[in-house]
Structure 1
Protein backbone atom coordinates (compact mmCIF):
# COMPACT_ATOMS: atom_id res chain seq x y z
CA UNK A 1 0.00 0.00 0.00
CA UNK A 2 1.42 3.36 -0.97
CA UNK A 3 0.97 5.99 1.74
CA UNK A 4 3.44 8.58 0.51
CA UNK A 5 2.64 12.00 -0.85
CA UNK A 6 5.76 11.99 -2.97
CA UNK A 7 7.59 9.03 -4.49
CA UNK A 8 11.17 8.53 -3.29
CA UNK A 9 13.76 6.28 -4.94
CA UNK A 10 16.15 6.56 -2.00
CA UNK A 11 15.50 4.96 1.35
CA UNK A 12 16.13 8.01 3.51
CA UNK A 13 14.34 11.33 3.39
CA UNK A 14 16.44 13.85 1.51
CA UNK A 15 14.49 17.00 2.28
CA UNK A 16 11.29 18.35 3.72
CA UNK A 17 8.85 20.21 1.51
CA UNK A 18 6.85 23.11 2.89
CA UNK A 19 3.24 22.80 1.81
CA UNK A 20 1.04 25.33 3.58
CA UNK A 21 0.29 27.27 6.71
CA UNK A 22 -2.12 25.33 8.92
CA UNK A 23 -2.93 28.07 11.40
CA UNK A 24 -2.21 31.68 10.61
CA UNK A 25 1.11 32.77 12.06
CA UNK A 26 1.25 29.84 14.44
CA UNK A 27 2.78 26.90 12.62
CA UNK A 28 3.93 25.90 9.21
CA UNK A 29 3.15 22.42 8.00
CA UNK A 30 5.57 20.34 5.99
CA UNK A 31 5.28 16.81 4.72
CA UNK A 32 7.88 14.20 4.00
CA UNK A 33 8.02 10.50 3.30
CA UNK A 34 9.68 8.19 5.77
CA UNK A 35 11.59 5.11 4.71
CA UNK A 36 8.33 3.21 4.29
CA UNK A 37 6.75 6.12 2.38
CA UNK A 38 4.32 7.08 5.12
CA UNK A 39 3.23 10.68 5.12
CA UNK A 40 4.74 12.52 8.08
CA UNK A 41 3.46 16.01 8.78
CA UNK A 42 5.93 18.12 10.75
CA UNK A 43 5.32 21.63 12.04
CA UNK A 44 7.64 24.58 12.54
CA UNK A 45 6.91 26.91 15.43
CA UNK A 46 6.41 30.50 14.29
CA UNK A 47 6.08 33.30 16.80
CA UNK A 48 3.10 35.47 15.84
CA UNK A 49 3.32 39.26 15.81
CA UNK A 50 3.04 40.76 19.28
CA UNK A 51 2.33 44.22 20.58
CA UNK A 52 5.31 44.60 22.86
CA UNK A 53 7.08 46.96 20.47
CA UNK A 54 4.07 49.17 19.77
CA UNK A 55 4.85 52.87 19.60
CA UNK A 56 2.51 55.82 19.75
CA UNK A 57 4.23 57.54 16.82
CA UNK A 58 2.93 57.51 13.27
CA UNK A 59 5.34 54.67 12.57
CA UNK A 60 3.80 52.78 15.47
CA UNK A 61 0.34 53.25 14.01
CA UNK A 62 1.46 51.72 10.73
CA UNK A 63 3.08 48.90 12.71
CA UNK A 64 -0.20 48.15 14.47
CA UNK A 65 -2.05 48.28 11.18
CA UNK A 66 0.43 45.85 9.66
CA UNK A 67 0.02 43.41 12.55
CA UNK A 68 -3.75 43.45 12.14
CA UNK A 69 -3.50 42.89 8.39
CA UNK A 70 -1.01 40.08 8.89
CA UNK A 71 -3.12 38.24 11.45
CA UNK A 72 -6.08 38.52 9.06
CA UNK A 73 -3.99 36.76 6.39
CA UNK A 74 -3.34 39.78 4.17
CA UNK A 75 0.44 39.55 3.99
CA UNK A 76 0.79 41.88 1.02
CA UNK A 77 -1.05 44.70 2.78
CA UNK A 78 0.96 44.00 5.94
CA UNK A 79 4.22 44.36 4.02
CA UNK A 80 3.07 47.72 2.66
CA UNK A 81 2.20 48.95 6.16
CA UNK A 82 5.42 47.63 7.71
CA UNK A 83 7.33 49.40 4.94
CA UNK A 84 5.61 52.69 5.78
CA UNK A 85 6.61 52.23 9.41
CA UNK A 86 10.21 51.55 8.39
CA UNK A 87 10.30 54.56 6.07
CA UNK A 88 9.25 56.75 8.98
CA UNK A 89 11.62 55.05 11.41
CA UNK A 90 14.54 53.20 9.75
CA UNK A 91 15.65 51.84 13.14
CA UNK A 92 12.31 50.12 13.87
CA UNK A 93 13.62 46.59 14.41
CA UNK A 94 10.19 45.11 15.25
CA UNK A 95 8.85 46.34 11.90
CA UNK A 96 11.69 44.62 10.04
CA UNK A 97 10.97 41.43 11.97
CA UNK A 98 7.24 41.67 11.24
CA UNK A 99 7.82 42.35 7.56
CA UNK A 100 10.23 39.44 7.43
CA UNK A 101 7.53 37.11 8.74
CA UNK A 102 5.08 38.45 6.13
CA UNK A 103 7.62 37.81 3.36
CA UNK A 104 8.19 34.34 4.82
CA UNK A 105 4.46 33.60 4.70
CA UNK A 106 4.41 34.65 1.04
CA UNK A 107 7.28 32.25 0.28
CA UNK A 108 9.96 34.91 -0.31
CA UNK A 109 12.60 33.49 2.03
CA UNK A 110 15.38 35.69 0.68
CA UNK A 111 13.59 38.95 1.49
CA UNK A 112 12.55 37.50 4.83
CA UNK A 113 16.18 36.76 5.70
CA UNK A 114 17.23 40.26 4.61
CA UNK A 115 14.67 41.76 7.00
CA UNK A 116 15.67 39.43 9.83
CA UNK A 117 19.30 40.42 9.25
CA UNK A 118 18.33 44.04 9.67
CA UNK A 119 16.26 43.30 12.78
CA UNK A 120 19.20 41.45 14.33
CA UNK A 121 21.60 44.28 13.43
CA UNK A 122 19.33 46.74 15.24
CA UNK A 123 18.46 44.38 18.14
CA UNK A 124 21.27 41.82 18.48
CA UNK A 125 19.70 40.22 21.58
CA UNK A 126 16.33 39.46 19.95
CA UNK A 127 15.90 35.69 20.25
CA UNK A 128 12.70 35.78 18.17
CA UNK A 129 14.56 37.30 15.23
CA UNK A 130 17.16 34.52 15.34
CA UNK A 131 14.42 31.90 15.54
CA UNK A 132 12.61 33.43 12.57
CA UNK A 133 15.78 33.65 10.50
CA UNK A 134 16.49 30.04 11.39
CA UNK A 135 13.07 29.06 10.04
CA UNK A 136 13.73 30.90 6.78
CA UNK A 137 17.14 29.28 6.40
CA UNK A 138 15.69 25.84 7.12
CA UNK A 139 13.01 26.44 4.49
CA UNK A 140 15.81 27.12 2.00
CA UNK A 141 17.51 23.86 2.92
CA UNK A 142 20.28 25.56 4.90
CA UNK A 143 19.90 23.45 8.03
CA UNK A 144 23.43 24.18 9.22
CA UNK A 145 22.74 27.92 9.14
CA UNK A 146 19.33 27.34 10.72
CA UNK A 147 20.82 25.37 13.61
CA UNK A 148 23.37 28.15 14.20
CA UNK A 149 20.50 30.65 14.49
CA UNK A 150 18.50 28.37 16.77
CA UNK A 151 21.58 27.91 18.96
CA UNK A 152 21.90 31.67 19.30
CA UNK A 153 18.21 32.04 20.10
CA UNK A 154 18.54 29.41 22.84
CA UNK A 155 21.64 31.14 24.23
CA UNK A 156 19.68 34.39 24.46
CA UNK A 157 16.49 32.75 25.74
CA UNK A 158 17.13 29.28 27.26
CA UNK A 159 13.44 28.69 28.05
CA UNK A 160 12.22 29.30 24.49
CA UNK A 161 10.38 26.02 23.82
CA UNK A 162 9.55 26.89 20.21
CA UNK A 163 13.23 27.12 19.27
CA UNK A 164 14.01 23.66 20.63
CA UNK A 165 11.18 22.32 18.46
CA UNK A 166 12.55 24.08 15.40
CA UNK A 167 16.14 23.01 16.03
CA UNK A 168 14.86 19.47 16.42
CA UNK A 169 13.21 19.71 12.99
CA UNK A 170 16.50 20.81 11.44
CA UNK A 171 18.41 18.05 13.21
CA UNK A 172 15.88 15.48 12.08
CA UNK A 173 16.24 16.64 8.48
CA UNK A 174 19.99 16.17 8.81
CA UNK A 175 19.42 12.61 10.00
CA UNK A 176 20.18 13.27 13.66
CA UNK A 177 17.06 11.60 15.04
CA UNK A 178 18.51 11.14 18.54
CA UNK A 179 19.43 14.83 18.75
CA UNK A 180 15.99 15.73 17.44
CA UNK A 181 14.25 13.65 20.12
CA UNK A 182 16.38 15.33 22.80
CA UNK A 183 15.31 18.75 21.58
CA UNK A 184 11.65 17.75 21.37
CA UNK A 185 11.97 16.43 24.93
CA UNK A 186 13.29 19.81 26.04
CA UNK A 187 10.52 21.68 24.24
CA UNK A 188 7.92 19.52 25.98
CA UNK A 189 9.67 19.92 29.34
CA UNK A 190 9.41 23.69 28.94
CA UNK A 191 5.82 23.58 27.68
CA UNK A 192 3.85 20.46 28.58
CA UNK A 193 0.96 21.59 26.35
CA UNK A 194 3.09 22.02 23.23
CA UNK A 195 1.08 19.84 20.85
CA UNK A 196 3.36 20.60 17.90
CA UNK A 197 6.39 19.21 19.75
CA UNK A 198 4.54 16.00 20.65
CA UNK A 199 3.50 15.57 17.01
CA UNK A 200 7.01 16.16 15.75
CA UNK A 201 8.60 13.88 18.35
CA UNK A 202 6.18 11.24 17.17
CA UNK A 203 7.59 11.63 13.68
CA UNK A 204 11.13 11.25 14.96
CA UNK A 205 10.18 8.15 16.92
CA UNK A 206 8.41 6.70 13.90
CA UNK A 207 11.60 7.25 11.87
CA UNK A 208 13.50 5.35 14.58
CA UNK A 209 11.06 2.44 14.23
CA UNK A 210 9.31 3.14 17.53
CA UNK A 211 5.74 3.04 16.24
CA UNK A 212 4.22 2.60 19.70
CA UNK A 213 6.10 5.59 21.07
CA UNK A 214 5.07 7.58 18.01
CA UNK A 215 1.40 6.71 18.52
CA UNK A 216 1.64 7.76 22.17
CA UNK A 217 3.02 11.15 21.12
CA UNK A 218 0.39 11.69 18.43
CA UNK A 219 -2.31 10.75 20.93
CA UNK A 220 -0.99 13.30 23.43
CA UNK A 221 -0.92 15.98 20.72
CA UNK A 222 -4.56 15.20 19.97
CA UNK A 223 -5.49 15.34 23.66
CA UNK A 224 -4.04 18.85 23.78
CA UNK A 225 -5.60 19.96 20.50
CA UNK A 226 -8.62 17.99 19.28
CA UNK A 227 -8.49 19.74 15.90
CA UNK A 228 -4.83 18.97 15.15
CA UNK A 229 -5.10 17.43 11.68
CA UNK A 230 -1.41 16.49 11.27
CA UNK A 231 -1.46 14.41 14.46
CA UNK A 232 -4.51 12.43 13.29
CA UNK A 233 -2.84 11.93 9.91
CA UNK A 234 0.42 10.77 11.45
CA UNK A 235 -1.25 8.46 13.97
CA UNK A 236 -3.27 6.96 11.13
CA UNK A 237 -0.07 6.16 9.27
CA UNK A 238 1.50 4.62 12.36
CA UNK A 239 -1.59 2.51 13.01
CA UNK A 240 -1.63 1.35 9.40
CA UNK A 241 2.02 0.31 9.74
CA UNK A 242 1.02 -1.77 12.78
CA UNK A 243 -1.79 -3.45 10.86
CA UNK A 244 -4.60 -1.58 12.64
CA UNK A 245 -6.56 -0.87 9.47
CA UNK A 246 -9.78 0.30 11.15
CA UNK A 247 -7.97 2.62 13.57
CA UNK A 248 -5.92 4.01 10.69
CA UNK A 249 -9.01 4.74 8.59
CA UNK A 250 -10.74 6.47 11.51
CA UNK A 251 -7.72 8.72 12.11
CA UNK A 252 -7.25 9.52 8.43
CA UNK A 253 -10.94 10.37 8.05
CA UNK A 254 -10.65 12.78 10.96
CA UNK A 255 -7.53 14.32 9.45
CA UNK A 256 -9.25 14.68 6.06
CA UNK A 257 -12.22 16.46 7.65
CA UNK A 258 -9.92 18.90 9.45
CA UNK A 259 -7.81 19.61 6.36
CA UNK A 260 -10.98 20.18 4.35
CA UNK A 261 -12.31 22.63 6.94
CA UNK A 262 -8.99 24.51 6.67
CA UNK A 263 -9.24 24.61 2.85
CA UNK A 264 -6.00 22.62 2.67
CA UNK A 265 -7.04 20.85 -0.52
CA UNK A 266 -3.70 19.20 -1.25
CA UNK A 267 -3.41 17.36 2.05
CA UNK A 268 -7.14 16.62 2.04
CA UNK A 269 -6.92 14.92 -1.34
CA UNK A 270 -3.80 12.96 -0.47
CA UNK A 271 -5.35 11.69 2.76
CA UNK A 272 -8.52 10.71 0.89
CA UNK A 273 -6.41 8.76 -1.60
CA UNK A 274 -4.72 6.93 1.27
CA UNK A 275 -8.09 6.08 2.80
CA UNK A 276 -9.22 4.58 -0.50
CA UNK A 277 -6.11 2.44 -0.68
CA UNK A 278 -6.59 1.23 2.88
CA UNK A 279 -10.18 0.26 2.11
Structure 2
Protein backbone atom coordinates (compact mmCIF):
# COMPACT_ATOMS: atom_id res chain seq x y z
CA UNK A 1 0.00 0.00 0.00
CA UNK A 2 1.38 3.38 -0.98
CA UNK A 3 0.35 5.97 1.57
CA UNK A 4 0.99 9.57 0.57
CA UNK A 5 0.44 12.16 3.27
CA UNK A 6 -0.79 15.64 2.47
CA UNK A 7 -0.88 18.38 5.07
CA UNK A 8 -3.32 21.22 5.38
CA UNK A 9 -2.76 23.92 7.96
CA UNK A 10 -5.32 25.91 9.88
CA UNK A 11 -4.06 28.77 12.06
CA UNK A 12 -1.27 27.55 14.38
CA UNK A 13 -0.67 23.84 14.83
CA UNK A 14 -1.20 22.09 18.15
CA UNK A 15 -2.69 18.71 17.26
CA UNK A 16 -3.21 16.48 14.23
CA UNK A 17 -6.39 14.88 12.91
CA UNK A 18 -6.22 12.31 10.12
CA UNK A 19 -8.81 11.64 7.47
CA UNK A 20 -8.41 8.67 5.15
CA UNK A 21 -9.64 9.47 1.66
CA UNK A 22 -9.49 8.03 -1.84
CA UNK A 23 -6.58 8.91 -4.09
CA UNK A 24 -8.37 11.97 -5.49
CA UNK A 25 -9.07 13.09 -1.92
CA UNK A 26 -12.70 13.55 -2.88
CA UNK A 27 -14.52 11.32 -0.40
CA UNK A 28 -13.98 9.88 3.05
CA UNK A 29 -13.33 6.15 3.05
CA UNK A 30 -11.39 3.51 4.93
CA UNK A 31 -7.77 2.75 4.06
CA UNK A 32 -7.15 -0.50 2.25
CA UNK A 33 -3.80 -1.95 1.26
CA UNK A 34 -5.33 -3.32 -1.92
CA UNK A 35 -5.02 0.02 -3.74
CA UNK A 36 -3.14 3.30 -3.55
CA UNK A 37 -4.44 5.73 -0.99
CA UNK A 38 -3.63 9.27 -0.05
CA UNK A 39 -4.25 10.57 3.44
CA UNK A 40 -5.04 14.19 4.06
CA UNK A 41 -3.50 15.16 7.38
CA UNK A 42 -5.28 18.26 8.59
CA UNK A 43 -3.44 20.13 11.30
CA UNK A 44 -5.64 22.36 13.39
CA UNK A 45 -5.20 24.40 16.50
CA UNK A 46 -5.22 27.83 18.01
CA UNK A 47 -2.70 30.48 18.90
CA UNK A 48 -2.13 31.37 22.56
CA UNK A 49 -4.58 33.99 23.84
CA UNK A 50 -3.58 37.61 24.15
CA UNK A 51 -3.86 38.50 27.85
CA UNK A 52 -4.82 42.07 26.94
CA UNK A 53 -8.18 40.79 25.70
CA UNK A 54 -9.11 39.99 29.29
CA UNK A 55 -8.95 43.66 30.21
CA UNK A 56 -11.55 44.71 27.67
CA UNK A 57 -14.75 42.98 28.83
CA UNK A 58 -16.31 40.07 30.70
CA UNK A 59 -16.65 38.31 27.35
CA UNK A 60 -12.95 38.86 26.68
CA UNK A 61 -12.01 37.35 30.02
CA UNK A 62 -14.09 34.26 29.27
CA UNK A 63 -12.60 34.09 25.79
CA UNK A 64 -9.06 33.88 27.17
CA UNK A 65 -10.20 31.12 29.53
CA UNK A 66 -11.72 29.18 26.64
CA UNK A 67 -8.62 29.47 24.48
CA UNK A 68 -6.45 28.20 27.33
CA UNK A 69 -8.81 25.23 27.78
CA UNK A 70 -8.55 24.52 24.06
CA UNK A 71 -4.76 24.68 24.16
CA UNK A 72 -4.76 22.15 27.02
CA UNK A 73 -6.91 19.80 24.95
CA UNK A 74 -10.07 20.24 27.01
CA UNK A 75 -12.33 20.52 23.98
CA UNK A 76 -15.68 20.17 25.72
CA UNK A 77 -14.67 22.65 28.40
CA UNK A 78 -13.49 25.09 25.73
CA UNK A 79 -16.73 24.72 23.76
CA UNK A 80 -18.76 25.36 26.91
CA UNK A 81 -16.76 28.47 27.75
CA UNK A 82 -16.86 29.81 24.18
CA UNK A 83 -20.63 29.38 24.42
CA UNK A 84 -20.63 31.47 27.59
CA UNK A 85 -18.74 34.18 25.72
CA UNK A 86 -21.45 34.19 23.07
CA UNK A 87 -24.16 34.26 25.75
CA UNK A 88 -22.54 37.37 27.21
CA UNK A 89 -21.91 39.01 23.81
CA UNK A 90 -23.67 37.45 20.83
CA UNK A 91 -21.68 39.67 18.43
CA UNK A 92 -18.28 38.45 19.64
CA UNK A 93 -17.02 37.12 16.28
CA UNK A 94 -13.72 35.57 17.51
CA UNK A 95 -15.68 33.31 19.86
CA UNK A 96 -17.57 31.78 16.93
CA UNK A 97 -14.34 31.31 14.96
CA UNK A 98 -12.57 29.70 17.91
CA UNK A 99 -15.54 27.54 18.90
CA UNK A 100 -15.61 26.38 15.29
CA UNK A 101 -11.99 25.27 15.64
CA UNK A 102 -12.86 23.39 18.82
CA UNK A 103 -15.82 21.68 17.14
CA UNK A 104 -13.61 20.78 14.19
CA UNK A 105 -10.97 19.41 16.54
CA UNK A 106 -13.68 17.31 18.20
CA UNK A 107 -14.78 15.94 14.81
CA UNK A 108 -18.06 17.86 14.54
CA UNK A 109 -17.56 19.46 11.12
CA UNK A 110 -21.14 20.64 10.64
CA UNK A 111 -21.18 22.62 13.87
CA UNK A 112 -17.76 23.99 13.00
CA UNK A 113 -19.08 25.23 9.66
CA UNK A 114 -22.12 26.79 11.35
CA UNK A 115 -19.81 28.72 13.67
CA UNK A 116 -17.55 29.82 10.82
CA UNK A 117 -20.66 31.03 8.97
CA UNK A 118 -21.61 33.17 11.95
CA UNK A 119 -18.07 34.49 12.35
CA UNK A 120 -18.10 35.53 8.69
CA UNK A 121 -21.53 37.14 9.04
CA UNK A 122 -20.24 39.24 11.93
CA UNK A 123 -16.80 39.90 10.44
CA UNK A 124 -16.96 39.53 6.63
CA UNK A 125 -13.32 40.57 6.17
CA UNK A 126 -11.93 37.81 8.40
CA UNK A 127 -9.61 35.83 6.13
CA UNK A 128 -8.96 33.25 8.87
CA UNK A 129 -12.63 32.40 9.12
CA UNK A 130 -12.84 31.76 5.37
CA UNK A 131 -9.70 29.63 5.50
CA UNK A 132 -11.08 27.66 8.46
CA UNK A 133 -14.41 27.07 6.75
CA UNK A 134 -12.55 25.98 3.63
CA UNK A 135 -10.67 23.38 5.66
CA UNK A 136 -13.90 22.04 7.14
CA UNK A 137 -15.52 21.82 3.70
CA UNK A 138 -12.44 20.12 2.25
CA UNK A 139 -12.47 17.56 5.08
CA UNK A 140 -16.04 16.71 4.03
CA UNK A 141 -14.98 16.26 0.40
CA UNK A 142 -16.57 19.51 -0.82
CA UNK A 143 -13.41 20.76 -2.50
CA UNK A 144 -15.07 23.19 -4.89
CA UNK A 145 -16.73 25.18 -2.11
CA UNK A 146 -13.50 24.94 -0.13
CA UNK A 147 -11.62 26.52 -3.03
CA UNK A 148 -14.17 29.33 -3.11
CA UNK A 149 -13.44 30.03 0.55
CA UNK A 150 -9.68 29.87 0.05
CA UNK A 151 -10.04 32.29 -2.87
CA UNK A 152 -11.82 34.73 -0.58
CA UNK A 153 -9.21 34.30 2.16
CA UNK A 154 -6.48 35.08 -0.38
CA UNK A 155 -8.39 38.08 -1.76
CA UNK A 156 -8.68 39.50 1.75
CA UNK A 157 -5.10 38.62 2.70
CA UNK A 158 -2.86 38.17 -0.39
CA UNK A 159 0.12 37.12 1.73
CA UNK A 160 -1.80 34.33 3.50
CA UNK A 161 0.55 31.41 2.80
CA UNK A 162 -1.64 28.84 4.57
CA UNK A 163 -4.60 29.64 2.32
CA UNK A 164 -2.48 29.03 -0.79
CA UNK A 165 -1.27 25.74 0.68
CA UNK A 166 -4.80 24.66 1.52
CA UNK A 167 -6.14 25.65 -1.88
CA UNK A 168 -3.31 23.61 -3.37
CA UNK A 169 -4.52 20.56 -1.45
CA UNK A 170 -8.09 21.10 -2.65
CA UNK A 171 -6.91 21.46 -6.24
CA UNK A 172 -4.83 18.31 -5.91
CA UNK A 173 -7.96 16.57 -4.63
CA UNK A 174 -9.68 17.54 -7.88
CA UNK A 175 -6.79 16.24 -9.96
CA UNK A 176 -5.54 19.73 -10.85
CA UNK A 177 -1.87 19.06 -10.17
CA UNK A 178 -0.67 22.08 -12.14
CA UNK A 179 -2.93 24.40 -10.14
CA UNK A 180 -1.84 22.70 -6.93
CA UNK A 181 1.82 23.12 -7.85
CA UNK A 182 1.29 26.84 -8.52
CA UNK A 183 -0.35 27.27 -5.11
CA UNK A 184 2.40 25.42 -3.26
CA UNK A 185 5.00 27.51 -5.12
CA UNK A 186 3.21 30.66 -3.99
CA UNK A 187 2.99 29.46 -0.38
CA UNK A 188 6.72 28.76 -0.38
CA UNK A 189 7.54 32.11 -1.97
CA UNK A 190 5.62 33.79 0.87
CA UNK A 191 7.22 31.63 3.57
CA UNK A 192 10.48 29.94 2.63
CA UNK A 193 10.43 27.93 5.89
CA UNK A 194 6.98 26.46 5.29
CA UNK A 195 7.76 22.74 5.70
CA UNK A 196 4.15 21.69 5.09
CA UNK A 197 4.08 23.39 1.69
CA UNK A 198 7.34 21.69 0.66
CA UNK A 199 5.84 18.33 1.64
CA UNK A 200 2.70 19.02 -0.37
CA UNK A 201 4.62 20.31 -3.38
CA UNK A 202 6.59 17.10 -3.25
CA UNK A 203 3.34 15.17 -3.49
CA UNK A 204 2.24 17.24 -6.49
CA UNK A 205 5.56 16.60 -8.18
CA UNK A 206 5.32 12.89 -7.41
CA UNK A 207 1.85 12.82 -8.97
CA UNK A 208 3.37 14.28 -12.14
CA UNK A 209 6.05 11.59 -12.21
CA UNK A 210 8.87 13.87 -11.00
CA UNK A 211 10.24 11.57 -8.30
CA UNK A 212 13.57 13.41 -8.05
CA UNK A 213 11.88 16.78 -7.64
CA UNK A 214 9.55 15.27 -5.07
CA UNK A 215 12.47 13.89 -3.05
CA UNK A 216 14.16 17.32 -3.13
CA UNK A 217 11.03 18.85 -1.62
CA UNK A 218 10.70 16.15 1.03
CA UNK A 219 14.39 16.69 1.89
CA UNK A 220 13.73 20.39 2.43
CA UNK A 221 10.63 19.69 4.54
CA UNK A 222 12.71 17.39 6.76
CA UNK A 223 15.55 19.93 7.00
CA UNK A 224 13.04 22.47 8.26
CA UNK A 225 11.33 20.02 10.62
CA UNK A 226 13.28 16.90 11.52
CA UNK A 227 10.23 15.46 13.30
CA UNK A 228 7.95 15.71 10.26
CA UNK A 229 6.49 12.20 9.91
CA UNK A 230 4.53 12.72 6.67
CA UNK A 231 7.65 13.94 4.82
CA UNK A 232 9.63 10.84 5.86
CA UNK A 233 6.72 8.65 4.77
CA UNK A 234 6.42 10.38 1.41
CA UNK A 235 10.15 10.35 0.76
CA UNK A 236 10.11 6.64 1.54
CA UNK A 237 7.43 6.10 -1.10
CA UNK A 238 9.41 8.13 -3.64
CA UNK A 239 12.58 6.18 -2.90
CA UNK A 240 10.69 2.91 -3.26
CA UNK A 241 9.43 4.08 -6.66
CA UNK A 242 13.06 4.63 -7.68
CA UNK A 243 14.03 1.13 -6.54
CA UNK A 244 15.88 2.30 -3.41
CA UNK A 245 14.37 -0.33 -1.12
CA UNK A 246 16.83 0.21 1.74
CA UNK A 247 16.36 3.98 1.75
CA UNK A 248 12.60 3.59 1.53
CA UNK A 249 12.44 1.29 4.55
CA UNK A 250 14.69 3.61 6.59
CA UNK A 251 12.40 6.55 5.87
CA UNK A 252 9.23 4.59 6.58
CA UNK A 253 10.66 3.31 9.87
CA UNK A 254 11.46 6.90 10.83
CA UNK A 255 7.90 7.94 9.96
CA UNK A 256 6.45 5.04 11.94
CA UNK A 257 8.46 5.99 15.02
CA UNK A 258 7.26 9.59 14.82
CA UNK A 259 3.62 8.59 14.37
CA UNK A 260 3.87 6.16 17.29
CA UNK A 261 5.34 8.87 19.54
CA UNK A 262 2.52 11.20 18.50
CA UNK A 263 -0.12 8.53 19.26
CA UNK A 264 -1.21 8.62 15.59
CA UNK A 265 -2.01 4.92 15.77
CA UNK A 266 -3.82 4.56 12.44
CA UNK A 267 -0.96 6.15 10.53
CA UNK A 268 1.56 4.07 12.46
CA UNK A 269 -0.23 0.84 11.52
CA UNK A 270 -0.56 1.87 7.88
CA UNK A 271 3.12 2.74 7.58
CA UNK A 272 4.11 -0.55 9.26
CA UNK A 273 1.98 -2.42 6.72
CA UNK A 274 3.78 -0.51 3.97
CA UNK A 275 7.15 -1.51 5.42
CA UNK A 276 6.14 -5.17 5.46
CA UNK A 277 4.97 -5.03 1.84
CA UNK A 278 8.20 -3.39 0.66
CA UNK A 279 10.25 -5.89 2.64
CA UNK A 280 8.63 -8.91 0.97
Using the size of structure 2 for normalisation, the TM-score is 0.87
1:49 Cα deviation from its structure 2 partner: 3.5
Structure 2, unmatched stretches of 5+, are: 25-33
Distance 2:258 2:91 in 1: 42
By how many angstroms is 1:32 displaced? 5.0
The answer to which structure, 1 or 2, has the higher relative contact order (CA under 8 A, 6+ apart) is 2
Q: Quote the residue 1:248 is aligned against.
A: 248
Shift of 1:25: 3.7
Contact preservation (8 Å) 2:205, 2:213 = yes
1:54 and 2:53 correspond: yes
Q: Give the equivalent residue in structure 2 for 1:13.
A: none
Q: CA RMSD in A?
A: 2.5
Count matched residues: 265
> How far apart, CA to CA, are the structure 2 residues paired with 1:206 and 1:38?
13
> CA contact under 8 A between 2:54 and 2:62: conserved in structure 1?
no
Which segment drifts farther, 23-32 or 202-211? 23-32
Q: Distance in 2 between matches of 1:27 and 1:152?
A: 25
Kindly state the Cα deviation for residue 30 of structure 1 after the two structures are TM-superposed.
4.5
Which residue does the alignment assign to 1:157?
157
Displacement of 1:29 after TM fit?
4.4
Work out the CA distance in 2 between the residues paired with 1:111 and 1:17: 24
- Aligned position for 1:259: 259
User: 2:223 maps to which residue?
Assistant: 223
- Give deviations 1:177-208, integer Å, cap 9, x for gaps: 00000000000000000000000111111111
Q: Which residue of 1 aligns with 2:71?
A: 71
Looking at structure 2, the residues matched to 261 and 44 of structure 1 have their Cα atoms a distance apart, in angstroms, of 18
* Structure 1 gap segments, 5+ residues each: 6-15
* Distance in 2 of aligned mates of 1:129 and 1:273: 38
Match of 1:238 in 2: 238
Classify 1:43/1:188 alpha carbon distance in 2 versus 1 (closer, same or farther; 3 Å): farther
